[in-house]
Chain A
Amino acid sequence: MPHHHDHEHSELSDIELRVRALETLLTEKGYIDPPALDALIETYETKVGPKNGAKVVAKAWADPDYRSRLMEDATAAIAELGFVGRQGEHMVAVENTSAAHNMVVCTLCSCYPWTVLGLPPVWYKSAPYRSRAVRDPRGVLAEFGVTLPEDMEIKVWDSTAEVRYLVVPERPQGTHGWSEEDLAELVTRDSMIGTGLACDPAKREDAA
């Protein structure tokens, strides 16, 4: 289980009370159905998350026809796996190669492909990432422990419209013949944002 802790310190009680009062007000006004709020939260806590995207990437690695469909029309190809809807209405898949690395940001707010990655982490929505990803992506990548060759093109995608981007990381060496299920285990959330790479299977075995 993830460890819950509070970053807000003294601000917490104020905003906590404020949001609670707002929910009470909207409920009594008849504007919301409180069980619907629980269902919304549960959806993103249990059903929608980066495991979805990992399945898409693993399938693209394992199945050349699927990869072609994904690169041609990502929205339709992702829908084949049942991942559709809010903040995934217009999907584009961008593929990392030995010559180019893709990295996604939303400098203006927090646009993120919810259907395949779930809700964005705090750092993705934060000023340090949003300000620097477009100007100094190598510096940002270094903070994630990723160093790329100087001559490699870095393509930064600023999500300014309703198009959402899924990075397809490079398939790690030494995974020939792996099943989609095993491949999906190598696909991290950060690798699909472009702030990480897929796991190296050799290192995984060492760690296990």
Chain B
Amino acid sequence: MAYTLRMGTSSPVQFEAKEPPPTAGTYPPEESTVEERFRGLVDGWKTEMRSSPSSDFLRMVASPNYQRIIGMGPAVVPLLLAELEARPDHWGWALEMITGQNPVPPEAQGKMKAIASAWLAWGRANRLI
């Protein structure tokens, strides 16, 4: 796959973390459940995306919040599927990166709602939702 981080911007894309980097002794945050941390990252990602005029898909999935969701691993797959069902968005990439699966049929290429349907069917088949 080949993407370029350029559409909608006249200069190379640079990402800025929206929260301070973790410091020693704060990770993992004991007070946060997986669901709470996931929800915070989803909200942070949506806020970040809302403040950008970019149409670049790779910019969306390369954002720090999105990458941290992927970094949470298999524990968030049911949460991602539930989020996808409640508020369809570009979560297919994260699901593919975490699971190594790709249930999206060729005719659904680029169609977010069809992609969401394919992932939800996959989730049901695997008893994750």
Real binding pair: no
Chain A residues packing against B (C-beta within 8 Å): none
Chain B residues packing against A (C-beta within 8 Å): none
